């Protein structure tokens, strides 16, 4: 029974987080600064969640750095996401074998 209560509370909180902006911002946001801020929030949150996971995914900081450098270079060269992910993983694995 206690688990069901936890699930309902979490569902309610999730719903409120998604519903409140729709009720507060009924008109179009005209502030250029605020629109720009809201535009970059998803990228900042994704980066804040991804970067720590990258560096804690391997047991060695050097292998994580090698994979990250390969990923950044390939992303800068506008390679597809699957190419970037596979190459970064292969580079980290290869660096792990060498070290």
Cα-based distances in Å from 95 to 29, 66, 83: 48, 7, 18
Q: Which residue has the tokens 């390939």?
A: 74
Per-residue confidence (pLDDT) for residue 7, from 0 to 100: 95
Can you give the pLDDT at residue 81? 94
Per-10-residue mean pLDDT of the chain, 99 residues long, equals: 92 88 80 87 89 88 94 96 96 93
* Closest to 87 in 3D by CA, of 60, 46, 69, 59: 69
The tokens for 87 are 């190459």
pLDDT value at position 21? 79
Entry pTM: 0.62
What would the two tokens of residue 75 be?
Answer: 């992303």
């Amino acid at each position: 029974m206690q688990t069901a209560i936890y699930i309902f509370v979490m569902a309610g909180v999730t719903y409120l987080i998604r519903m409140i902006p729709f009720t507060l911002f009924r008109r179009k946001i005209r502030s250029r600064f605020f629109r720009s801020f809201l535009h970059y929030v998803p990228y900042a949150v994704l980066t804040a969640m991804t970067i720590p996971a990258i560096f804690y995914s391997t047991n060695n900081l050097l292998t994580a750095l090698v994979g990250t450098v390969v990923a950044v270079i390939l992303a800068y060269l506008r390679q597809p996401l699957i190419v970037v992910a596979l190459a970064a993983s292969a580079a980290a694995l290869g660096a792990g074998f060498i070290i």
